[in-house]
Structure 1
C-alpha cells in the first residue's frame, strides 16, 4: 500500500499540473459515472493529502476523495508542459518514475507529439483531462465525490500527519501514544494514532529508534515518543523529496552512490534472516496487526 509520502507527492503533482484548470472528468469503467458527472467541467482549486487520503477540491465545493488501498494507482501523461511522475501507487513494477517522456520515440530523429490522452486501458475508475494532460485512476479502495463538510469529517477521524508536522500534531501523537497499552508497532499502523505510516516506515523508524516493537505505548517516556514522531516526520519528508523510502544513511550505500540500491535503502524491512547492519544478529520476521513485522532482536530490546 502506498504510504503517506507517495500520497503527498500525488497531491503536489495534481497541484502542479491541474490546479486552476477546468477538467473533463469521466469514468471509463462505469463505476463512478454519477461522481464524474458532478465534477465534469469544474475547476480544480486545491489538492492536499492527509495520511493516505488524497483530496481534490473543485470550485463548486465538491471534493474527489481517493484512498488507493493495496491496489490503487494513478497514471499520468501529457504534453511537453506536463512534468512529474508517470505513475504513483501500485503495482510496484510501475513505481514512481521521476522523468516522464511525453513523446513517443519513433526513431532516433523523429518523435510524435502529444495528441491527447490514449484510449483507456483496463478498469479506469476515473479519468481527469486538462488542456495539457491527463490522469487515470485504477483499483482504488475509495473513490468518492463528497462535500467539504464530509472531507472535514474524514480528516477528523484520522490521526496527525507527520508530513504536516505542526507542534500541536506532535503533542497529540505523544499524548495518544502514552495513553495506550497496545504495542507501539501496532499503534504506528493505526491511522487514528498517526496518519500515513505503513509497514515500511513502521519497521524502519522502530529500528532507527532502537525500540522493542512489543513495548506498550504506556511504557514509553514522553521524550522517547517525541523522538519517534520527529524521526518519522524526517524520513517521510525525505520520501517526499526522493520519491522512495530511504532510511539508511550514505555510509551504508555503495561508495559514491547518490542514492542507494534497493537492497541498501533499509535497515530491516524485507531483510529477514540477513545480518543486522549494526549488530550482525539476523533480522527477524513476525506478524502484527495482519502485516509482516521486521525487526532486529539484537538492537531492539
Structure 2
C-alpha cells in the first residue's frame, strides 16, 4: 500500500497543476458516475493529504475523497505547462516509487481514450488525471471530510504544533505492541509497513514493546524520525532510509538492495551488527527487525 509520502506528493501535484482550474469530472468506468456529476464543472480549490487520505476540495464545499489502498494509482498527462510525475501509487517494487516527470504530449488536444478501469477522470485546460483501483473514491461534504480527518492521528508530514505531543500521548496510553501502534492510523497517520520497520530499527526499539512501556523521550524520537524519513520520501519519491555511506552506486543513489536497513532483508546480516534480520507476522502483516539491535 502506498505510504503517506506518496499521498503528500499527490496532493502537491494536484495543487500545482489543477488548483484554481475548473475541471471536467467523469467516470469512464461508470462506478463513480453519480459522484462525478456532483463535482463536474467546479473549481478545484485545494488538495489536502493527511496520512493515506487524499481530499480534493472544490468551490462548492464538496470533496473528492480518495484512499488508494493496495492497488490504487493516479496517472497524469498534459501539455508542456503540465509538469510532474506521470504516475503515483501502486503497483510498485521495493519501497515506493513514482514514475518520473511526465513529458508533454505532442500537439496536446485533450486526454487520450481511457485505458482500463478508470474510476474517475479529471480534465483541465492543460492536462488530465486518471484514477484506477482505489479502495475509496467518493464525493463527500465538508462535514464528512471533517469526520474522515477526525478519525486520524497526527501526520508527521503535516507536523503541526502539538502533533508531536499528541502522538506521544496516544502511543503511551496503549498497552499494544509499538509495532502495531506505529501502523494504527488513529495513532500515527501515514506510516505503513516500510516506514514502521525502518523507524523502529533506526531508533533501536524492540517492536514488541508495549506503547505504555516507552518513555516520552523514546516516543518523541520515533516521531522525529518519522518526520525526517517521510520528508525525504516526499522529496525523492522513494523510501530510502539508509545513509549514503552504505550506497555503492556511482550515481550517488541507493539501489533497491541498499535502500533499507531491515525491510524485506530477512535472513541477511544486519547492516549495523551482523545479526540475521528477522521476520514475523504481527497484525496480519510482515514485520522486519534486527534481534541484535532492537532489544
**Is the structural similarity TM-score above 0.5?**
yes
- How much has 1:113 moved relative to structure 2? 2.3
Instruction: Show the counterpart of 2:85.
Output: 85
What is the CA–CA distance in structure 1 between the aligned matches of 2:118 and 2:249, rounded to whole Å? 43
- Does 2:57 match 1:63? no
What is the CA–CA distance in structure 2 between the aligned matches of 1:102 and 1:214, rounded to whole Å? 49
Instruction: Show the counterpart of 1:108.
Output: none
Task: Determine helix, strand or coil for the equivalent of 2:162.
Answer: helix
Question: Which of 187, 194, 201 in structure 2 is aligned with 1:193?
Answer: 187
- How much has 1:256 moved relative to structure 2? 4.2
Once the two structures are superposed, what CA deviation does each residue of 1:134-188 show, in whole Å capped at 9, x if it has no partner? 0000010000000111111110000000001123111110011111110000001
* Residue pair 1:87, 1:95 contacting (<8 A) in 2 also: no
Once the two structures are superposed, what CA deviation does each residue of 1:257-285 show, in whole Å capped at 9, x if it has no partner? 42211111100001111110001111111
Trace 1:200-279 onto structure 2 (pairs within 5 A). Answer: 200-254=194-248, 256-279=250-273
- Does 2:177 match 1:183? yes
- How much has 1:255 moved relative to structure 2? 5.5
Instruction: Show the counterpart of 1:152.
Output: 146
Instruction: Show the counterpart of 2:21.
Output: 21
Task: Determine helix, strand or coil for the equivalent of 2:165.
Answer: helix
Question: Which of 271, 278, 281 in structure 2 is aligned with 1:287?
Answer: 281
- How much has 1:219 moved relative to structure 2? 1.1
Instruction: Show the counterpart of 2:121.
Output: 127
- How much has 1:99 moved relative to structure 2? 1.8
What is the CA–CA distance in structure 1 between the aligned matches of 2:60 and 2:237, rounded to whole Å? 32
Q: 1:44 to 1:173 in 2, by over 3 A?
A: same
Instruction: Show the counterpart of 1:35.
Output: 35
What is the CA–CA distance in structure 2 between the aligned matches of 1:209 and 1:284, rounded to whole Å? 17
* Residue pair 2:242, 2:258 contacting (<8 A) in 1 also: yes
- How much has 1:115 moved relative to structure 2? 2.2
| Segments ≥4 residues shifted beyond 6 Å | none
- How much has 1:95 moved relative to structure 2? 4.1
What is the CA–CA distance in structure 2 between the aligned matches of 1:226 and 1:117, rounded to whole Å? 46
What is the CA–CA distance in structure 2 between the aligned matches of 1:28 and 1:42, rounded to whole Å? 18
What is the CA–CA distance in structure 1 between the aligned matches of 2:161 and 2:203, rounded to whole Å? 20
Which 5+ residue runs of structure 2 have no aligned equivalent? none
What is the CA–CA distance in structure 1 between the aligned matches of 2:184 and 2:251, rounded to whole Å? 35
What is the CA–CA distance in structure 2 between the aligned matches of 1:257 and 1:166, rounded to whole Å? 35
Once the two structures are superposed, what CA deviation does each residue of 1:54-96 show, in whole Å capped at 9, x if it has no partner? 0000001110000000010000000111111000001116941
Q: How many residues align?
A: 293
Instruction: Show the counterpart of 1:107.
Output: none
What is the CA–CA distance in structure 1 between the aligned matches of 2:260 and 2:108, rounded to whole Å? 39
* Residue pair 2:153, 2:186 contacting (<8 A) in 1 also: yes
Task: Determine helix, strand or coil for the equivalent of 2:110.
Answer: coil
Task: Determine helix, strand or coil for the equivalent of 1:167.
Answer: coil
